[in-house]
Amino acid sequence: MNYIDATTRLITLLGSPVSHSKSPKLQNFLFELLGENYCYLAVDTKKEDLEDIILSLKNLNARGMNITFPLKVEILKYLDEIDSETKLSGAVNTVVIGDDGKLIGYNTDGIGFITSLEYLNLDIRNKKILVVGAGGAGRAIGIMLAKSFASEIVIVEKEKNRDKSQGLLDIISNKMQSKTKVRIIESNDINIKNELSDAYMLINATSLGLKDKNQCIVSSKEVLSKTSAFIYDLVYSDKKTKLIEYAEQNNLQNTNGVPMLLCQGIESCKLWTGKSASVEEIINSLKL
C-alpha cells in the first residue's frame, strides 16, 4: 500500500459531478503498481472555480490533472501548450504540470477508446459507426475512428448542437482529408433506428445516464430491436444505464465506459510518470 509522505505529489480529477468516478481507485492503484509517489484525488469543480483551483494546484507543486465534464474545453484557456492531437480535437482530458510550472494539455480519450476496442476484440475498420454526441469525448473518438479507417461515421446530435457536429465533420473531411464518409443526423428515435440497421457500433458519447440512469439517448428498447450493432455506452456507474438495459433486452453485445476508462487512464498515467501498465494487470486486480 502507498503511504503519503512529505514528498508525495498530487494529481487531481477536475469536473462535476465526480463523486461517481473510478479514476481515483484506478490511478492510485497504478501509482502503487508502478512505484510512483503520487496521490490522486477527485475535486468537484465548477467552471467559475477552475482558475483558482489550477493556481492552487500549481502552488502545491501538483504533477497534473485529469479533466472531465464539463471542463474539457474550458481548460484550454489556462494551458501554455497543447499537443498536435489535442489541437484537432479541441478538448483536453489530461494536463501535465512541468517542473517549470507550464501546463501542457493532452487528450487520451481517442487513443484510450481505440485501445479499448482492441481489448474487447472489436475491429471497426471498414465499418459504419454511429457516434451520439460531438462534444469533447465524441470529437476525440470521431477523429480516432477516422484514423482507424472506419468506412462511415454518422454523427448523431441535437439540432441545437449542430455547430459541434459540423465542427467534427469539418475536421475529419477537410483538416484530416480522411476517406471516411461522415454524415450528420438529428438525434431522434426514428433516425437512430434507421441508421442502426446496417451499423457495426453505436457509441453514446454524451453524459446522458450519468446523473440519472433513466436518461437515455433513445426512448425505448424498440429503437435497438432491428440491429446487431455493438452498444458502447461511455457512461459508467455502479448501476446499469438505461441504454445498457435496452441493449441487454435485445440480446446485443455491449459495454459501459469502464474499458475506455482503463485504457485512457493508462495513457494519462504514462504522461505523468513515463511508465505504463497493461489492461490485464488492472482487470485482474481491480473490480471497477
pTM for this entry: 0.90
Q: Which residues are catalytic?
A: 72
| Topology agreement, domain 9-106+260-286 and domain 110-255 | yes
Q: By the 8 A CB rule, do 229 and 258 touch?
A: no
Residue ranges of domains in the chain: 9-106+260-286, 110-255
Topology of the domain covering 110-255: Rossmann fold (3.40.50)
- Binding annotation for NADP(+): 133-137, 234, 257
Per-residue pLDDT of the chain (288 residues; tens, 9 = 90+): 567 999 999 999 999 999 989 999 999 999 999 999 999 999 999 999 999 999 999 999 999 999 998 999 999 999 999 988 788 888 899 999 999 999 999 999 999 999 999 999 999 999 999 999 998 889 999 999 999 999 999 999 999 999 999 999 999 999 999 999 999 999 999 999 999 999 999 999 999 998 888 899 999 999 999 999 999 999 987 789 999 999 999 999 999 999 999 999 999 999 999 999 989 888 878 877
- Binding annotation for shikimate: 21-23, 68, 93, 109, 236, 264
Greatest distance between any 2 Cα atoms in the chain: 59
DSSP states of the chain = -----TT-EEEEEEESS-TT--HHHHHHHHHHHHT--EEEEEEE--GGGHHHHHHHHHHTT--EEEE-TT-TTGGGGG-SEE-HHHHHHT--SEEEE-TTS-EEEE--HHHHHHHHHHHTT---TT-EEEEE--SHHHHHHHHHHHHTT-SEEEEEE-GGGHHHHHHHHHIIIIIS--SSEEEEEE-SHHHHHHHHTT-SEEEE-S-TTTS-TT--SSSSGGGGTT--PEEEE----SS--HHHHHHHHTT--EE-SHHHHHHHHHHHHHHHHS----HHHHHTT---
- Binding annotation: 21-23, 68, 93, 109, 133-137, 234, 236, 257, 264
Which single residue is written with the C-alpha cell 441504454? 243
Rounded to the nearest integer, the mean pLDDT of the chain is: 95
**CATH annotation of 9-106+260-286:** 3.40.50.10860
* Tens digit of each residue's pLDDT (9 = 90 or more) over 162-213: 999 999 999 999 999 999 999 999 999 999 999 999 999 999 999 999 888 8
